[in-house]
Amino acid sequence: MSTPRWHGTTAQERAGERRRRLLDAGRELMADGGAAAVTVRAVTRSSGVSPRLFYESFPDRDTLLLALWDEQYAQLAARVEGAIADAGPELAHRLRAAVLVTAHWFSEQPWRAVVMLRETLAEELLRRHARRRLPEMVLSTAARSVDAELLAAVSPPALEVAVVGLSGAIVNLFLEWTGGGLDVTAEQLADEIVELMVAALLRLSSR
């Protein structure tokens, strides 16, 4: 049985196109005015999607915010994974590749730092969400760069404290850099962050 089409598109295709317009509108509003600017009224006005159809895509404004954040997280995670895979076996090279591709990803589109980093400090919903996901990315990066048995040997409390602390430091460094507060190149920034990461991993492994 064929899928009904209207003006050459199916209902599923139209729903996907509306969702994309809503996400793009939300992203632009957040980049310009922060998460507080992302309201259902503002998003529907900017996207041209009616409020009724908004709620067919997202149950509420919070779900849209989380979808925006998760979309960028997935893109960055894929970049990081690819960079590590291409970097060779050495720990420092793998970590540097991951950090450098992250720096370039932010510099390609400055609004990404607003969505992924700055607004996680300003918006409680995103702060709670990022508090779990960003440390996950740091731990995943480390796990793909060092012997998994090494990390497994570290006590869970020690690993959690180290990863959360390291994540916070990395986020603050990227915030300062993307905001113009650090006058260094992406390569210099990557070198400094890698030093932090290697020192943390060596300290954990020596316990």
Q: What is the mean pLDDT of the chain?
A: 89
Query: Which range has the worst mean pLDDT, 2-11, 75-84, 157-166?
Result: 2-11
- Same domain assignment for residues 82 and 153: yes
The separation between the first and the last C-alpha atoms of the chain, rounded to the nearest angstrom, is 64
What would the pLDDT profile of 106-160 be if each residue is shown by its tens digit?
999 999 999 999 999 899 999 999 988 888 888 788 777 776 666 666 777 877 8
- Total structural domains within the chain: 2
CATH (domain of 47):
1.10.10
What is the structure's pLDDT at 137? 86
- Average pLDDT score over residue span 28-35: 95
Percent of the chain past pLDDT 70, that is, above it, reads 91
Which whole number is the average pLDDT over 75-94? 90
Are residues 165 and 87 both part of a single domain? yes
Q: Are 31 and 128 in a shared domain? A: no
Lowest-pLDDT choice from 25-39, 149-163, 166-180, 187-201: 149-163
Displacement of CA 114 from its chain's centroid (Å): 10
> Tell me, what DSSP letter sits at residue 185?
-
Q: Under a CB-based contact definition with an 8 Å cutoff, are residues 84 and 145 in contact? A: yes
pTM score: 0.85
Assess whether pLDDT exceeds 80 at residue 73. Answer: yes
The residue segments making up the domain with residue 153 are: 63-205
* Domain identity same for 117 and 171: yes
pLDDT tops 70 at residue 207:
no
Q: How far from 113 is each of 15, 69, 197, CA to CA, in Å?
A: 28, 11, 21
* DSSP letter for each residue of 51-104: HHHHHHH-SSHHHHHHHHHHHHHHHHHHHHHHHHHTS-S-HHHHHHHHHHHHHH
List, for residues 43-55, the tens digit of each pLDDT value: 999 999 999 999 9
Q: Give mean pLDDT, residues 59-87.
A: 95
Side chain identity at residue 47, one-letter code: S
Q: Rounded CA gap, 195 and 190, in Å?
A: 9
How many CA atoms, within 13 angstroms, populate the side-chain half-sphere of residue 141? 35
CATH, residue 199: 1.10.357.10
Same domain, 120 and 190: yes
Residues 67 and 43 in one domain: no
pLDDT of residue 49: 97
Instruction: Give the separation between CA 6 and CA 180, rounded to whole angstroms.
Output: 49
Helix locations, the chain, DSSP H: 11-33, 40-47, 51-57, 61-85, 91-108, 111-113, 119-122, 124-143, 148-152, 156-178, 186-205
pLDDT classification of 184: cutoffs 50, 70, 90: very high
